[in-house]
A = this chain, B = another copy of it.
Amino acid sequence: MKSIAVVEDEPFMREELSHLLQKVGYQTITITEFDHVADQLLCLSPDLILLDLNLPGCSGFQICRDIKQKSALPVLVLTSRDQMRDELHALELGADEYLTKPFRKERLFARIANVLKRYEGRSNLLEGPGFLLDRNTYTLYIHSRSVILPKNQGKLLEVFLTHGEETVSKKDLCLALWGTAEYIDENALQVNLTRLKKTMLSLDMHQQILPVRGTGYRLLKEGEHL
Binding site for B on A (CB under 8 A): 84, 87-88, 91-92, 96, 104, 106-107, 110-111, 113-114, 118, 120-124, 131-132, 134, 136-137, 139, 141-148
Question: Cβ of B134 and Cβ of A146 under 8 Å apart?
Answer: yes
Question: Cβ of B136 and Cβ of A137 under 8 Å apart?
Answer: no
Which residue in B87, B104, B132, B145 is a CB contact (below 8 Å) of A110?
Answer: B87
Which residue in B113, B114, B121 is a CB contact (below 8 Å) of A143?
Answer: B121
CA–CA, A154 and B172, complex, Å? 35
User: Given the interface contacts A110-B91, A111-B91, does A122 sit within 8 Å of B139 by beta carbon?
Assistant: no
Smallest beta-carbon distance A84→chain B, Å: 6
Question: Cβ of A84 and Cβ of B111 under 8 Å apart?
Answer: no
CA–CA, A37 and B87, complex, Å? 32
Chain B, residue nearest A119 (CB): B144
CA–CA, A137 and B146, complex, Å? 7
Question: Cβ of B139 and Cβ of A114 under 8 Å apart?
Answer: no
Set of chain B residues within 8 Å of A141, measured between Cβ atoms: 120-122
Set of chain B residues within 8 Å of A143, measured between Cβ atoms: 121
